[in-house]
Structure 1
Amino acid sequence: MAEVVRARVDAWCWAVRLFPTRSAAGAACRAGHVRVNGERAKPATIVVPGDEVHVRGGERERIVEVRRTVVKRVGAAVAVECYLDRSPAPVPKAQVALAGVRDRGAGRPTKRDRRQLDRLRGRG
């Protein structure tokens, strides 16, 4: 029977190029931006094939299923074979509202302007 390679989630995410550096992957884990099988993952959490990893970072959330565990960083072509990407499609740039764009020289936003911006951003 083939031995299953166990890998830390921070090392695996870095190895399959979900993060640019291993320290960035570890920091995301500590901040709660990485979940394994629905549970918040510490950097030392072990992943095995079949696990589902949610990575929230940048502008979108990535949902990947572990197909193969690797602990060393691999090339992009090999990295794609190590997971099955189930992420939702990114929102087209045309649909993203440009909230907070002001005319040059308009000065500081008033209290009313700030409240309107907060409402646009979903905070108010």
Structure 2
Amino acid sequence: MPVQDDASTKVRLDKWLWAARFFKTRSLATDAIDAGHVHLNGDRAKPARTVKIGDRLRILTAHGEFGVVVAQLADRRGPAEVARALYEETPESEARRLQQAQERTLEPNFEHPLSKGRPTKKWRRQLHDFSRKQQG
């Protein structure tokens, strides 16, 4: 699916982000660009801006912040292996994402397994006992 890198080839930023699998749909990519979550060569970009090989992108997604350099151009979505070949992630970005992932695993989780939905009778009693002990 990669496009040849001649000068006449132009790929929109939102199409490239979708083809590189940073976003599930093109409209999600457009929304992220409009919200300022994507920077092209240090500047805030627009969805219709063209991407060239060698451009630097900073992309903030739900699963992390990526700093990448465009290696190839594509305007169609292909397999994940092809999508991964479209960009090269910077070493600083990789290290930062690994650090953040490790921090997420070490931070405490305060969700009770039964806290989804309505509390059970046992869980409600435990909450009541806890709040009574806190009051006095």
1:101 Cα deviation after fit? 4.6
Structure 1 equivalent of residue 6 of structure 2: 3
- Which residue identity is paired with 2:6? E
Structure 1 equivalent of residue 52 of structure 2: 48
Give structure 1 stretches of 5+ with no counterpart. Answer: 108-124
Give structure 2 stretches of 5+ with no counterpart. Answer: 116-122, 129-136
TM-aligned CA distance change 1:62 to 1:101, over 3 Å: same
Structure 2 equivalent of residue 89 of structure 1: 97
Percent identical among aligned pairs is: 33
* Displaced runs of 4 or more, over 6 A: none
The two structures, once aligned, show a CA RMSD in angstroms of: 2.1
SS state of the match for residue 10, structure 1?
helix
Residue 35 (structure 2) aligned to one of 31, 34, 40: 31
1:25 and 1:36 map into 2 onto residues whose CA distance is 14
1:80 Cα deviation after fit? 1.1
- Report how many residues are paired: 105
Q: TM-score, normalised by structure 1?
A: 0.74
Q: Higher Cα Rg: structure 1 or 2?
A: 2
Structure 2 equivalent of residue 14 of structure 1: 18
Q: Larger % of helix: which?
A: 2
